[in-house]
Amino acid sequence: MNFKGIIADLLFNKIKEINSDSEISIEEITNNIEVPKEKKNGDYSFPCFTLAKVMKKAPVMIGNELAEGLENENFEKIENVNGFLNFYVSKNVIVKDTFDRFMKDPNNYGSSDEGKGKTVCVEFSSPNIAKPFHIGHLITTILGHSLYNIYKYLGYNTIALNHLGDYGTQFAKMIEGYKRFGTEYDFSENAIDKLADIYKRINEICEEDPAVLEQCRDTFAKLEAGDPECVEIWTRFKDLSLKEFNKIYDLLDIKFDSVNGESFYADKHEEVIKLLEEHNALTDSQGARVVDLTPIGQEVPFMVTKSNGSSIYGTRDLAAILYRTREYDFDKCLYVVANEQKVYFKNLFYVAQFLGIDKKYLDGLEHVGYGMVSLPEGKMSTRKGNFLKVEDILNDSISKTSEILKDRDIEDKEAVAKMIGIGAIVFANQKENRIKDQVFDINEALNFNGETGPYTQYAAVRCKSILEKANFAFDANEEIDYSVLTNDSTIEVVKLVSNFSDIIVQAKDKSEPSIITRYLIKVAQEYSSFYNKNKVICEEANVQTARLYLTYMVEQVLTAGLNLLGIKVPDHM
């Protein structure tokens, strides 16, 4: 039920009644309705000061006038407290409404078709080949995957893009290095470390010997021109890297619809230049071609081609935008990339307007940034001089979980340890607002009693086992006695369940999966408090049935919510 809409209608009519020539719209009223932080202030609240201008009165007086005789069957109480009109939804209304919505389609509860006919590209992960997949890439991978899931659940046609960093002069150096020392290495394991080592060695040589550097430049030109030997070696780097990245994607169970990296766009920059020229956006700057950014307050222009004519990172992004408008006809294209690139994306989206693409596409471009993540030992925790590897972090969490589960009697312990170990990391990385810098502590993430993934998974598992114990079988036509679902701890759970679809939409609107994470913690906590206060399996059949259905709802919400975050729920743990 749309309680905000009902309240807005009610207030709209009342305002008209008091002041017939008021020009306030229903929409304005709706936008001002809040959900109070404290339960004692009702389920919804309308701040009367927002009407002070229209009604030319003090908020408290407005509140009194509006509250006078204001009634509606959906609310058990409406009261004016210091200029806030607080609305208390009737318990039986909220219970009935929640169950009605749930019973129709319990396995897709909270989903919707708001995205029908709309396409959203979510670009995420995008690591650089032949370089370690670092913890920052883990965050974009986790966040991007959640956003992908959220849009999908809301009915959008959703496309997962991995804009692999697989282009640039460094690969020419690496090719040169590979030719010289490649045979010294066994690439069947830790290939990325070995490629990084080759890169380090060839760089040292380049620094000493300008002739080698020159040779590398030639190699890059050759690579760009499609020289078979260069392309073959570069493809090998890419395959070796993807093999390692895929291990991480497999652990997280993430699939991409496209892994067209930067190289895919390298031969598509001519059209970009032509279009920018047509829109008079290009100027020369010491042989390079650039777009002036002073209109958006930036001194340094946006470089499109270097003086030698080759493309750069930004050129390839422009080509990618153009390509995606045609290939996907997107309504939105999200870029889940660290905050460090915030200004870059602002500039990129500004320059994109000179490609002459439809305004719809320009409006749909959005950078979804995130803060830095560090490990308790410090930002670049080193292990024998190497980066702490993401793959190791994930596997470490799985083995720590196995250790915790060691003495438990559960089937399929390995699979369960994986779900919990991975889930703990995925959950912890989405707990705070994405923009905040955070410290990731594996021991905290694995605390079964904290506000963590395992805690939330356990809440769902407990619901499952209660249902199992009671031989619960869902029946869409079950006649549930709502009159037994009235005490406070029950109503708190129902209200949370009732809000699930709103929470998902909020998470989407703000590109903020943490809204779901924190909501799920609350659901788990409130259910636990309900469970402590109310016997679910009990003597009276009608009470037991009603509470079992509530338990089932909570289980569905927790499972669906965790799945949106990219986390699986085991049957037992």
Specify which residues 284 forms β-bridges with. 289
Distance CA 565, CA 549 (A): 24
Q: How many CA atoms lie within 13 A of 249 on its CB side?
A: 19
> Minimum Å distance from CB 264 to ligand ARG?
12
Asked if residues 521 and 456 have their Cβ atoms less than 8 Å apart, the reply is: yes
Closer to ligand ARG by CB, 264 or 531: give it.
Answer: 264
What token pair was written down for 291?
């777009």
State both tokens at 283.
Answer: 């100027």
Complex with ligand ARG: residue 109 or 133, whichever CB lies closer: 133
Q: Least distance in Å: CB of 17 to ligand ARG?
A: 55
The two beta strands, 282-285 and 157-161, are unpaired
For residue 163, the minimal CB distance to ligand ARG (Å) is 4
Read off the tokens for 108: 């897709």
Q: Which is nearer to ligand ARG, 199 or 472 (CB)?
A: 199
- For the bound state, the minimum distance from the C-beta of residue 172 to ligand ARG, rounded and expressed in Å, comes to 18
CA distance 152 to 198: 42
Count of chain residues binding ligand ARG (CB under 6 A): 9
CB 241 within 8 A of CB 165: no
Binding of ligand ARG by 127 (CB under 6 A) = yes
335 binds ligand ARG (CB under 6 A): yes
Taking CB atoms, the residue at the shortest distance from ligand ARG is 165
Phi, psi of 528 (to 5 degrees): -60, -40
- Residue choice 126, 315, 498, 545 for contact with ligand ARG (CB under 6 A): 126
Stretch near ligand ARG under the rule CB under 6 A, chosen from 119-127, 412-420, 446-454, 465-473:
119-127
Residue closer to ligand ARG, measured from CB, 119 or 498: 119
Q: Does 330 bind ligand ARG (CB under 6 A)?
A: no
Structure tokens at 195: 């490629």
460, 461, 465, 468 alpha-carbon torsion, rounded to 10°? 70
Contact 426, 567 (CB under 8 A): yes
Q: Which is nearer to ligand ARG, 44 or 124 (CB)?
A: 124
For ligand ARG, what does the binding mask look like between residues 17 and 46, x meaning CB under 6 A? ------------------------------
Closest distance to ligand ARG from the beta carbon of 123 (Å) = 6
| Integer Cα distance of 524 and 547 in angstroms | 15
Q: Can you list the positions of beta strands (E) in 434-564?
A: 438-439
Q: How many CB atoms lie under 10 A from the CB of residue 210?
A: 9
How does strand 75-81 pair with strand 84-89? antiparallel
In the complex, the smallest distance separating the C-beta of residue 261 from ligand ARG, rounded to whole angstroms, is 8
Is residue 128 a contact residue for ligand ARG (CB under 6 A)? yes
Rg (CA), the chain: 28
Piece in contact with ligand ARG (CB under 6 A), picked from 123-131, 239-247, 369-377, 400-408: 123-131
Q: What does the DSSP assignment read for 77-143?
A: EEEEETTEEEEEE-HHHHHHHHHHHHHH-GGGTT---TTTT-EEEEE---PBTTS---HHHHHHHHH
Distance CA 171, CA 129 (A): 9
* Candidate ranges 125-133, 141-149, 208-216, 233-241; the one touching ligand ARG (CB under 6 A): 125-133
- Binding test (CB under 6 A) with ligand ARG, winner from 4, 145, 152, 163: 163
Of 249 and 335, nearer to ligand ARG (C-beta) is: 335
Q: Is 63 in the site for ligand ARG (CB under 6 A)?
A: no
The site string for ligand ARG over 176-195 (x = CB under 6 A, - otherwise) reads: --------------------
Q: Is position 561 an interface residue for ligand ARG (rule: CB under 6 A)?
A: no
Q: CB 171 → ligand ARG: shortest distance, Å?
A: 13
Widest CA span in the chain: 89
Interaxial angle between packed helices 228-252 and 413-428, expressed in degrees from 0 to 180 and rounded to the nearest 10 = 100
| Stretch of 121-129, 183-191, 390-398, 517-525 contacting ligand ARG, by CB under 6 A | 121-129
Q: Which residues bind ligand ARG (CB under 6 A)?
A: 123, 126-128, 163, 165, 317, 335, 337
